[in-house]
Chain A
Amino acid sequence: MKERLMQRFLALTVILVLLVGCSGGSGTSGGETPTGGEPGGSPVSEPAKPKEPVVIVQGAEPPTMDPQFHESGAASNVYSAIFDHLVEFDRGMVLQPSLAESWSLSEDELTWTLKLRKGVKFHNGEDFNAKAVAYTINRAVDPKMIEAKIFDPFPTRVGLDKVTVVDEYTVSISTKKPNSMFLVYLSFVPMLAPDYYASTSLQDLALKPVGTGPWMLKEWVKDDRIVVEAFPDYWRGKPEIDSLVFRAVPEASTRLNMLQTGKADIVANISPEDAEIVKSDSSLRLSVAIGGRRVFMGIPAVKNAKYANKEVRQALNYAVNFDAINTALLGSLAKGRMQTPVNGDFWINASLKPYAYDPEKAKSMLQAANFPMGEKITLYTPNGRYLKDKEMAEAVAADLRKIGLNVEVQVLEWTVFSGKLTAKEFDDIYLMGLGSRFHGPEDIQHMSNQNAFDVTGWSTLSPQGDEYEKIVKELEFVFDQNEAKKMLDRAQEIVYDEAPWIYLWKQTEVFAVTNRIDWEASGNSRIALWLPNEPSPKYTK
């Protein structure tokens, strides 16, 4: 028995050695050495090697390379290297022509006619034309694709009627109802090579994308690296950076360590503490984007009757010392407290000033409203989903305790949190962040009872709620920007006054970048590599 056990032990060891030996080979597949930059902290002593790929490190990678089957920030950063869109946002978050050179809207405001750029090639040599646009958009409503669980929400978002090829470089897209946000939604539809996508299996398409973008996929080692190389026939000219590597590194400290050791060139989601480390390293710099993600605490006015009174919700806003949170937690990244859910200088109602910190006023307002001060309030928060989310919830809880409220913070794992959110189950205050496309009429929709993420339900209670919901609905049909702006100003006044949220901030997005490239973060939180009307990003040394 003893000897048999000894033999089993030896056999186990041999098997392990073999396993390690067998699997070791694939660890170095591809021969890519995506290193770049000088080691951080020390002066540059030898010239950088400009041919080395630029390494972009983010928390996750796209689960699929078929862009119509998935939508997320990390994925769109990769997709934006490989695919182009008909229209694209510029640095100032204004839509610009891209694969569509110009567009016009019919008098009945139902049909958009787009003139397409000529001479654009897909990575596989196919021509980009009206057929490609029609194929891409129709693919999202193809019953076979729906059966295969295609995700692209464009047809639903705009209320698609039909796509018509007018001539080789003209396409018209009709909607069932006028939709003023049509172009915004169109900017999220990546253009696909029609012949290739029609003739290739979905499983292959999930691995091998073909777009018209500046870079094309060269290698994908799952959960490790995605290597793209410059597309020589790109319509804006070959990108100056020959090769990009996207790496998925879930742990924030590892991402920072990679940056410091020259293994990364662009890293997103830098925390205020890490920003200090980056600042102290002469080979690195910070690049800050306005972001625009609205981080707030939703107050469920319907589910929890004690919040039904708007004075109570306003009081909770007065009770929060956001400036202290900004200094203590956010490294003073915030320009100030959020006063409206709307982003963009044009759209923001500048007459609204953020709620000031006034604990005495908060307390007296709550007492005047007969608020049950001793009753337990639970603040639900995710952890790590938004910058300092849990810490911010704890700071808000401390502020609310200062005015005599009985508050506890409950941290929920994101999958549980998001499930409760979309099921509209929260019956107490919850911390949440909502992304933004810097388009006022869309930003304001997020407080609507129709939105999947609005748990507050305030508009069903308030006498101003109907007016607000009416404005939100009508904004879809208003194409005149100045008129839309007027309506939006009023909607902002209403939500400011109704305070369905405890307003916190519009999250600034901080990137750390090595000095060997000239890339700068643009308006939103995505990594837009080559923006419209700008030269290709390039090496600086």
Chain B
Amino acid sequence: MRGYIVRRLAQAIIVVFGVSIMAFGLMFLTGDPSSVMIGDDWTTEQVAEFRHRMGFDRPWYVQYGDFLSKAVRGDFGTSLRHHQPVFELIMERMPATLELAGTALLISLVISIPIGVISATRRGTWADNLVMLGAMLGQSAPVYWLGIILMLLFAVFLRWLPPGGREGFASLILPAISLASYDIARNSRMVRSCMLEVLSHDYIRTARSKGLAERTVIYKHALRNALIPVVTLVGIQLGHLLGGAVVTESVFAWPGVGRLILDGISGKDLPLVQAAVTILAMGFVGVNLMIDLLYGFLDPRVRVR
């Protein structure tokens, strides 16, 4: 078991290191930040002086090494544009992101599981077709488009909800629904297909032949098994949502982490993007590592792979 933990830990460190070097490399390739920081009237001479003063003229490995040596000591650096510690900037926006991501995930689960079950148990009926049609639409409608349509309908025409910002529960509804739409569609299809598969198993026939109520068969025997792959999917989905729902946050002016990173990219805030991507990767890898270790603990076969 110890060998397994060490192996997985080493892999996790390599992944985080790889992500951080990629984030740095990609940002570095688009040119140094001075190009978006300077004014229209600057001379080439002034730009050169500015680049030197900011340290942008140092070789990439020196700049990356600088970041890495501080990061391993827990110092993710200071944002070039905000002049605040990057870690604080991210944590400041985390509640808004958690609120939106968590609500979207809840909405997607609360809606997708029942309709997936209904669809599977009424396979081929109008209800099933309707659900599948809705799922197809939900998966194919871009979040960006859906967000604007929902905003026009509920904020501009009906005036029921605010069009953007983060001011209480009402302002959460539209962005959470737009963000959840894809997952509702995907999860309900997933629940449906898993249910259909499970329902064809022998033990379901056995349960029915024992005279159990159909409700018990569906919810106690079938759904529990059908949910196994869904749970795995939900874990990954949560990771994605926490990474920042960039598009939704931008459309609805939601002050979350995704927008911070997006602004950082467009402002070439190298320390901010570098640290944010690394921290998010650490979160993602951390969750995965814990799940893997848990599997290894629960199922001895995993350890020897």
Contact = CB atoms under 8 A, between A and B. Distances in A.
Contacts of A71: 39
Given A71-B39, A257-B151, A442-B41, A203 B98 contact: no
A221 B227 contact: no
Contacts of A260: 156
A384 to B, nearest CB: 11
B259 interface: yes
Contacts of B53: 146, 149
Contacts of B268: 415
A43 interface: no
B267 interface: yes
A452 to B, nearest CB: 5
Contact of B84 (A157, A206, A247): A206
A422 B40 contact: no
Given A221-B255, A223-B93, A420 B31 contact: yes
A451 B43 CA distance: 4
Contacts of A263: 162-165
Interface string A235-275: 00000000000011111011001101101000000000000
B81 interface: yes
Contact of A63 (B82, B102, B255): B82
Interface string A140-173: 0000001011010100110000000000000000
Contacts of B162: 261, 263
Contact of A254 (B37, B151, B230): B151
A207 B85 CA distance: 12
Nearest to A75: B81
A418 interface: yes
A22 B95 CA distance: 8
Contacts of B32: 419
Interface string A398-424: 000000000000000011101111110
Contacts of B230: 9
B202 to A, nearest CB: 16
A27 interface: yes
A148 B45 CA distance: 21
Interface stretch (A11-19, A282-290, A484-492, A514-522): A11-19
A250 B253 CA distance: 7
A222 B255 contact: yes
A16 B82 contact: no
A250 B259 contact: yes
A450 B44 contact: yes
Contact of B260 (A207, A223, A261, A414): A223
Given A22-B95, A149-B80, A223 B42 contact: no
A249 B164 contact: yes
Contacts of A131: none
A63 B93 CA distance: 14
B40 A435 contact: yes
Interface string A416-441: 10111111000000000011000000
Interface string B277-305: 00000000000000000000011000000
Contact of B259 (A27, A28, A223): A223
B265 A415 contact: yes
Interface residues of A, number: 76
Contacts of A20: 98-99, 102-103, 106
A422 B49 contact: no
B44 A451 contact: yes
Interface in A1-43: 1-6, 8-9, 12-13, 16-17, 19-20, 22-24, 26-28, 32-33, 39
B178 to A, nearest CB: 12
A203 B86 CA distance: 12
A223 B224 CA distance: 42
A422 B43 contact: no
B47 interface: yes
Contacts of B169: 24, 27
B40 A64 contact: no
Nearest to A251: B251
Contacts of B102: 16-17, 19-20, 23
Interface in B221-267: 224-225, 227-228, 230-231, 234-235, 238, 250-253, 255-256, 259-260, 262-263, 265-267
Contacts of B8: none
B54 A5 contact: no
Given A254-B164, A418-B31, A450-B43, A2 B224 contact: yes
Interface string B57-93: 0000000000000000000000111111100010011
B165 A225 contact: yes
A23 B99 contact: yes
A395 to B, nearest CB: 24
A446 to B, nearest CB: 7
Contact of B227 (A6, A261, A434): A6
A194 B95 CA distance: 36
A330 B81 CA distance: 33
A2 B225 contact: yes
B255 A224 contact: yes
A33 B159 CA distance: 16
A203 B31 contact: no
A453 interface: yes
B13 interface: no
A23 B96 contact: yes
Contacts of A509: none
Contacts of A63: 79, 81-83, 263, 267, 269
A5 B298 CA distance: 11
Contact of B41 (A26, A157, A247, A248): A157
A153 B39 contact: yes
A257 B168 contact: no
The listed residue with most A CB atoms (<10 A of its CB), out of B167, B251, B255, is: B167
A26 B156 CA distance: 26
Contact of A64 (B81, B94, B163): B81
B47 A452 contact: yes
A498 interface: no
A247 B253 contact: yes
A19 B103 CA distance: 9
Interface of B: 30-32, 34-47, 49, 53-54, 79-85, 89, 92-96, 98-99, 102-103, 105-106, 109, 148, 151-152, 155-156, 159, 162-169, 171-172, 224-225, 227-228, 230-231, 234-235, 238, 250-253, 255-256, 259-260, 262-263, 265-269, 298-299
Given A251-B250, A416-B31, 12 more contacts: A2-B224, A16-B102, A27-B172, A64-B82, A153-B39, A153-B46, A222-B92, A261-B155, A263-B164, A418-B31, A422-B35, A452-B46
15 contacts: A13-B106, A20-B99, A24-B99, A27-B96, A27-B99, A32-B167, A149-B53, A222-B93, A249-B165, A251-B251, A414-B36, A415-B266, A434-B40, A451-B42, A452-B44
* 5 A-B pairs closest in CB distance: A419-B31, A223-B255, A23-B95, A63-B81, A422-B35
